[in-house]
Chains A and B, each alone.
Chain A
Amino acid sequence: MSNHAEILIIDDEPQIRKLLTITLQSNDYNIREASTAREGLLSAANHPPEMILLDLGLPDESGHMVLEKLREWYTKPIIILSVQSNEEDIVKALDNGANDYLVKPFRTGELLARMRSLLRSSSSESEHPVITIQDIQIDLSLRLVKKNDEPVKLTATEYNLLALLIKNEGKVLTHQFLLRTIWGPSYIDQSQYLRVFIAQLRKKIEDDLNNPLHIITESGIGYRFV
């Protein structure tokens, strides 16, 4: 895995920038900083980084706007940083193309894990039909899921849901996105289906149902597979 990846931090708080810079530099990332939306957009355009950490509360322009402008041409991962755990705000950012989000204050370990996972998935774009994540293995061409090398019996919907989650490993998928993709646009408000199928999937692939390690709930937002 390629470290030394270049990361652009767009955040107006010098303390947060400093903390992130030190943390990331000591984990072998190269850092560029920007304190305003304008500066950030310029810096990203001049020399596109491997990943952008974007604060939603910028002084000159809303982070949502910056995200939209970046997404017009920038395809690499963007992680949103926000002080508010406002679910609507986060869902909006994710639907506008953010790959992940962290609510301040966040734990450094969490940030590094999310970054690693996003950098990995963006570098291994090649459509490899077999994906292995710890004890779970999925063969997308054979539509086969194995846990500890034992085949897992799944219904068609269960398989589709799991495959979608695994293909986006590490990324939060919002409830609306999952419902729309698996069940269709008319099911967007029918989140009870999602709850039931997630519960079913957990029963089949998690060791401890009450302490799930693979399908993680992001309360009020969605699910992520790790």
Chain B
Amino acid sequence: MLNFLLHKFSKRKQYVISVSLILCVAAISYALSDFIEYKVVAFLLLVTVSLIAMLFDIVPVLVAAFLSAIVWNYFFIPPRFTFAIQSTENVLLFLMYFIIAMVNGGLTYKIRETEKKANKKTEKENTLKLYNTLLNSLSHELRTPISTIIGATDTLQEENHKLTEENRSELISEISKASLRLNRQVGNLLNMSRLESGFLQPKTDWCDISELVYDVINQLKDTLQNKPVEVSIKENMPLFKLDYGLLEQVLHNLIHNAAVYIPKYAVITVRATVNKDQKLVIIVEDTGNGFPENEIDSVFEKFYRLKSTNPGGTGLGLSIVKGFVEAMHGTVRLENGEEYGSKFTIEIPAEIAYLNDIKNE
């Protein structure tokens, strides 16, 4: 919040605000000067200078401190309305005020600077922690397929005549699987860095949602063996103006996730509709085991992995889903089914075009 204020005001505004604040406090004190002594006014002005020092740069703060000293002298120290001070005590008081106001302003500013530095340091530490988590989960996720490839090629290159034809082809298929897995993880990482960079700009174009859904299911054909996907999209579904690539990745991750974690022969259902607010709604449901209730809120966090699952996976898939959906100004929600399974609901606002309108043109 403080940082926010700091960045918000230009240099010029800082001068204007600090000067007017001092004048304001002085005016109020002046109006009340029948009730409060000039020494109390000095205290009020000092507090104001400290406040200004908490918010603004050093120069406006010193200007405010200087101004407050002048104002205090002219309007409040007897004899009033002159810069002259008669009693020695008051001269001493004024000098003390002057020094304290300046030092106070300067010190508060310095403390703030140190704080800023400390904040930056904790920020850096957090990033470092994030990188460490990333490296840990990556080294597992990348090294497993790499080990598979290295191991398999070593065995294949060996002049080993005992290696049966069957085992040989099995090794080759393992290499192929491992490299596909590597490719998937690299894709995830690239997507994550696209999100982290904060410059993810959706490129919208008209999308046929049912084409997109079947496209994703076709891409995941190998993963979806023995895991039937039911699709329910009405015939008269309109076209939506969306980023095809982003939505494709979102659905890809959700369906892939379901396919990997649900037991064999559980069913995945994908439904797409338009809701009454003219938003696109896509629901990906499964009849698996669902998510533990106490972990539902965390699943979209970066690197979060369910406590009960086997190692494997970077915990990036669902956070990419959330990031991409939000980049399209949509929302994603996870809940468990009433009896079993889990249900992801995505809602995205988008321009709509009905097919029939176009056909009749």
Contact = CB atoms under 8 A, between A and B. Distances in A.
Interface of A: 87, 105, 175, 191-196, 198-200, 210-211, 217, 219-220
Contacts of B183: 105
Interface residues of B, number: 22
A220 B208 contact: no
A187 to B, nearest CB: 11
A219 B248 contact: yes
Contacts of A219: 212, 215, 244-245, 248
A22 to B, nearest CB: 15
A191 B240 CA distance: 11
Interface string B185-201: 00000000000000000
Contacts of A211: 214, 218
B205 interface: yes
Contacts of A193: 358
Interface in B226-249: 231, 239, 244-245, 248
Nearest to B187: A85
Contact of A220 (B210, B211, B214, B244): B244
Contacts of B353: 192
A191 B206 contact: yes
Contact of B215 (A105, A175, A200, A217): A217
Contacts of A191: 205-206
Contacts of B206: 191-192, 194-195
Contacts of B306: none
Contacts of A194: 206
A175 B355 CA distance: 18
B359 interface: yes
B350 to A, nearest CB: 12
Interface in B157-194: 179, 183
Given A210-B231, A211-B218, A219-B245, A196 B358 contact: yes
A198 B359 CA distance: 12
B271 to A, nearest CB: 15
21 contacts: A105-B183, A191-B206, A192-B206, A192-B358, A193-B358, A194-B206, A195-B207, A195-B239, A196-B239, A196-B358, A196-B359, A198-B208, A199-B208, A200-B359, A210-B210, A210-B214, A211-B218, A219-B215, A220-B203, A220-B205, A220-B244
Nearest to B206: A192
Contact of A217 (B205, B211, B231): B211
B245 A220 contact: yes
A192 B355 CA distance: 8
Given A191-B206, A195-B208, A87 B245 contact: yes
- Interface centre among A192, A198, A210, by most B CB within 10 Å? A192
B228 to A, nearest CB: 14
A77 B206 CA distance: 31
Nearest to B233: A210
A142 to B, nearest CB: 26
